[in-house]
Structure formats: C-alpha cells, structure tokens
A = this chain, B = another copy of it.
Amino acid sequence: MDRQTVTIYDVAREAGVSMATVSRVVNGNPNVKPSTRKKVEEVIKQLNYQPNAVARGLASKKTTTVGVIIPDVTNLYYSSLARGIDDVASIYKYNIILTNTDENLEKEILVLKDLLTKQVDGVIYMGHHISDELHAQLESVPTPLVLAGSIDQKGILPSVNIDYGAAMKDSLDILFENGNEKIGFVYRSVDEEIDSQVRYGAYKEAHQDHGLPVDDNLVFTSSNSYKDGQNIYDQLISNGATAAIFSDDEAAVGFLNAAHDNGLQVPEKFEIIVSNNSKLVNMTRPQLSTVLQPLYDIGAVSMRLLTKMMNNDEVEDKEIVLPHTIKKWGTTK
C-alpha cells in the first residue's frame, strides 16, 4: 500500500548528488553536466522513480490540471467538445477534471469553488445560460478561463464559438430559396442566450430582410429532447409551417419520426435543418441537413487558447470564431 516508495531524496542519495540536481534533470533544466545527468537518469530508471505531482504542485504552484465544467457528458454536443479539450490537454501534458453540472447554478458555483481549491491551472466552462450571478463568478476566477461553445453576451470572457447568427441566416437562406415562407424555429430554452438572443435575433433579421413577417406561433422555446420534438409536431404543422430549424438534434429526430408516423414526407413536404451536427444527424433516414459545427475543434481550440493564457503567451484574439458550413443532407430539397 505504499503509494510513494521512492522519492527524490532516494534518487539523490543513490546518485550521489543533491535533490536540487535531481530536480533539475527531472525538469529538463539544461544547467546540468551531461555526465551527472546521465548518472541521475540511470538511477531514476533503476529505482523507477516517479515524481509526486502533488508535491510538485505545492512547490511550483502549477498542477498541470485544468477544470472542465460540462452540463452533461452524456450530451453528444458537449462530449464532442470535451473530447477536443482532452486531446489537446493531453498534448500539452495537462489532465482534465471533468464535472457535470446540468447547468444548475448552485452546482456550477460549487464546482467552480471546488476546482479552484484543487488549484487547477485553468478552467474551461461549457453551458448555454450564463446568468449575471454566474458571470460574476466566472469573471472572478483567478486562473485563466475560457468558454467553449458558449457565448458571453457581455463580451468579456474569452471564448471559442462559431457565428451562430450567421449560421442561422445561412440556413434560412436555403429554406427561403426553396420557396418556404413559413419557417419554424424550435429551440431549447429561453435561458440559452445562443438560442433566445443570437439565433432568434438572426431569425427575425433574416425575415425582415426578406420582407416576411415573423410569426411567433412558429417559434417554440423549450424543445430539447426527442419527446419534445414529437410533441410540437401537431402545432408546427397546423400553424402552417413548411420547414423548420431545430437547435436540438434530438428534438429534430423526434419531430422527424413524428412526421414519418404521420406520413408527412421529408423533405418533399417539409424541410428541416438542425443547428448542431452531432453523430445523430447521420443516423436518421433521411439524414438531417445540418449546420456543420466543428465541435471537436471548438473544444480543441478552447484548450489551446487556455494553454496560451496559462503560459502567459500573448493572445491576440480572445474571442475566437470558427468557420461553419451548411451540409445539405436529406431533409432539404
């Protein structure tokens, strides 16, 4: 049960040098005579010495660990980001402490405190509702912090996203071009700024630009599950929609299946574009036309940004916008 049998002290003694010297070779400090470096390295190998990261953390004030706050790992959108984050973290020798919050404010605040207590070198936050209280907490974090796939309406916190508004307009352009005039917009929650502010804002603007009225009977504000997608089917259809944009893939799948059950042909009689390309979009029949969000990259770039900040490197732009495209699969004409 002795977790840490051999310490730096053992290596020093065995190699006939001081702990400082051992520390230097372990940390790749160049100021070590090649022959003594060699000797120390041999002893390290021989004793199978593994530096204790906790002791290093205490002494150096760097833990090479970053905290990652995620609503739910089980959500494909977020787990795709998380994968990008972990892969880049791994490249830069960081580990990730991942914690699920379900976007519950109390939990988020608790987790944040907890992570700081553990002396993480940085934190990545994911979540689509940043209340003023949460924003204040996020701002007061003493370590570098970046938002991944999450926007800061106040434009203060570093973040990595796509241009959700532009993506909305691109999607609408396709649907308008195909002759649709009554286009639904089905989003997750009024609490999610990306939906209720950015996308909905772009939705309205695009309608104005095309000289079309905005019909709020076609806008659904709390559909974030398969079941919700099924449930809104009747209303969307009876209100005359001939197309719809979904923020949530699962809701879109629910709607699509409801359409199938009701014998409504997609895309012939109804077109659909979803906003988050998760794996799901390719698993339906027809496959869902989608905004191609570089989810993995958003996570990866977020972590890369964070490493720069942790390293005190100059960072020109702290509000990174990655490119998107629209992929017309089978639910658009």
Interface residues of A (CB under 8 A from B): 1-4, 50-55, 57-58, 61, 63, 65, 72-74, 76, 79-80, 82-83, 86-87, 90, 95-100, 113-119, 142-143, 226, 250, 253-254, 257, 260-261, 279-280, 282-285
Contact = CB atoms under 8 A, between A and B. Distances in A.
A175 to B, nearest CB: 23
A283 B50 contact: no
A254 to B, nearest CB: 8
Contacts of A98: 82, 86, 96-98
Contacts of A115: 95
A51 B119 CA distance: 10
Contact of A96 (B72, B80, B97): B97
A80 B95 CA distance: 21
Contacts of A114: 95
A3 B99 contact: no
Contact of A119 (B52, B96, B261): B52
Nearest to A282: B226
Q: How many copies does the complex hold?
A: 2
B97 A65 contact: yes
B283 A118 contact: no
Contacts of A58: 52, 54-55, 58
Contacts of A118: 53-54, 65, 95
A90 B99 contact: yes
A140 B201 CA distance: 57
A73 to B, nearest CB: 5
Contacts of A61: 3-4
Nearest to A96: B98
Contact of A99 (B53, B95, B142, B279): B95
A151 to B, nearest CB: 23
Contacts of A90: 99-100
Contacts of A76: 74, 76
A316 to B, nearest CB: 21
A42 to B, nearest CB: 19
Nearest to A114: B95
A99 B99 contact: no
Nearest to A257: B285
A53 B86 contact: no
Contacts of A97: 65, 95-98
A119 B52 CA distance: 7
B3 A117 contact: no
Contacts of A57: 54
A63 B73 contact: no
Given A65-B97, A86-B100, 17 more contacts: A3-B116, A3-B143, A52-B58, A54-B57, A54-B63, A73-B79, A73-B82, A74-B80, A83-B100, A90-B100, A95-B97, A96-B97, A96-B98, A96-B99, A97-B97, A257-B283, A257-B284
